[in-house]
Amino acid sequence: MPNYAPLLRPARPDDHFAIEKICYEAFRNAPHASGVEALLTHRLHGNPALVRELDFVAEIAGNVVGNIVYTRSKVANDTREWETLTLGPVSVLPAWQRRGIGSALIEQTLKLARAMGFRAVILFGHEKYYPRFGFKNAEKYGITTPDGKNLPAFMALPLCKGALDGISGRFVYDPAFESIGKAESDAFNTRFQIPNPDVVFPVPSFLVTYVKPTIRNKNIIVGDFTYFSDVNFESRVTHHYDFYGDKLIIGKFCQIAAGVEFIMNGANHRMNTASTFPFYILEGWQQNAPPLSELPLKGDTIIGNDVWIGQNAVILPGVHIGNGAVIGANAIVGSDVDAYTLVAGNPAKPIRKRFDDELIELLQAFKWWDLPVPEIQKSSPSCPIAIRST
């Protein structure tokens, strides 16, 4: 996986669903996880105990991959109380774990908490992970769990010298952390277990992104559930200049491998002049740009539904690729591709049709990709017994 550097920024309300899903995915197979972490995070988003200035996300290529939150808490005994912070949950999408993202979130927010005047942080966490940030067993500071006990995962960190000196008492956290039943949590978590075209990372354990929710360019139109085996899909659409107005249109359920490039009309040079050199776009040359009618425009690039594009393939301007086609790895596609046809090579040429003409006609008429998700679940378009190969 490429070494993408995360952008750390305060969380926004429109991040909440992504954060809750990340929390669900990060903890669902983690040792000692209870399964309630996503619902807890959801509750905290509307809770006054949440310190919003310390609610941070880690963003990669515009997509949220990690989150950290803090809530107000206290240590109390029979005569006195001391304000503290509680750190957690901290969650990073499994595909992005062990890349320093969680550490970066912790280090930046601890520094900010210190600058805000908070004096100490308490958490329940991995006893071999958090000591690297200065956390020590809370027993050292005379602090016990709410039930008066101690355990290796219960840790505290003073944010300034002497902040925990003279403290003795029980940790008291916000009621949001209490009384989350398994049935309630399981019901909440079902929202993360059904196909959703608006999530960014549909396979949390490795790098796959649904393209549609990541697109910002109005001239790139992508259907539901089309995925890319990397992040930052728009960076793979090159020479795409607004003044040309050409569009890249991709259907539903397409599978686009890493390294694929869509070259748009801005890459073309005029061939009907003495030189192909584009004097008019380069600084210092006193030549006017030709009208668009004189430029070699090939029109929109249109990719059908359920198209599989292999690794490092290049799609040239104006190409139309039919439904169900397969583009071989490293292919250079400069001409249209019929539906359910496999092409490969440079230049890409037809290798064979995937099915006979009768079945192709039936599939084109059926348009399974336009069915509601429950109907697609029932129809099983990936089932091999429904296929007659040529």
> Do 301 and 317 form a contact (C-beta atoms < 8 A)?
yes
Span 252-272, mean pLDDT? 94
Least confident of 105-109, 110-114, 117-121, 175-179: 175-179
Which entry of 42, 126, 269, 320 is annotated as an active-site residue? 269
Evaluate whether 290 touches 317 at the Cβ level (below 8 Å).
no
Query: Can you count the helices (H) and strands (E) in the chain?
Result: 6, 24
- Residue keyed to tokens 């219960």: 154
- Please report which confidence band the pLDDT of residue 381 belongs to, taking 50, 70 and 90 as the band edges: confident
- In order of their start, the domains of the chain are 7-191 (3.40.630.30), 208-386 (2.160.10.10)
Specify the pLDDT at position 318. Answer: 96
| pLDDT, mean of residues 26-54 | 89
Local confidence band at 235 (pLDDT 50, 70, 90 cut-offs)? very high
Average pLDDT of the chain is: 92
CB 295 within 8 A of CB 270: yes
pLDDT exceeds 60 at position 388? no
DSSP string covering 299-339, please?
--EEE-SS-EE-TT-EE-TT-EE-TT-EE-TT-EE-S-B-T
The residue with tokens 């019929």 is 338
Q: How far apart are CA 335 and CA 312, in angstroms?
A: 17
Please give the Cα distance from 198 to 297 (Å, whole number). 33
Place of tokens 């969680």: 102
> For residue 293, what pLDDT is reported?
78
| Predicted pLDDT at 387 | 52
Q: Among residues 311, 225, 317, 306, which one has the least CA distance to residue 260?
A: 311
Instruction: Answer whether residue 145 shows pLDDT above 90.
Output: yes
- 269 flagged as catalytic: yes
Please compute the mean of the pLDDT values over residues 26-49 and round it to a whole number: 87
Could you read off the pLDDT of 354-368 as tens digits, one per residue? 999 999 999 999 999
Query: pLDDT tens digits for 66-94?
Result: 999 999 999 999 999 999 999 999 999 99
Per-residue pLDDT, averaged over 36-57, amounts to 94
State the pLDDT at residue 193. Answer: 85
Burial of 331 (0-12, 13-18, 19+ CB in 10 A): buried
pLDDT over threshold 80, residue 250: yes
Residue among 222, 208, 305, 306 at smallest CA distance from 262: 222
CB 355 within 8 A of CB 387: yes
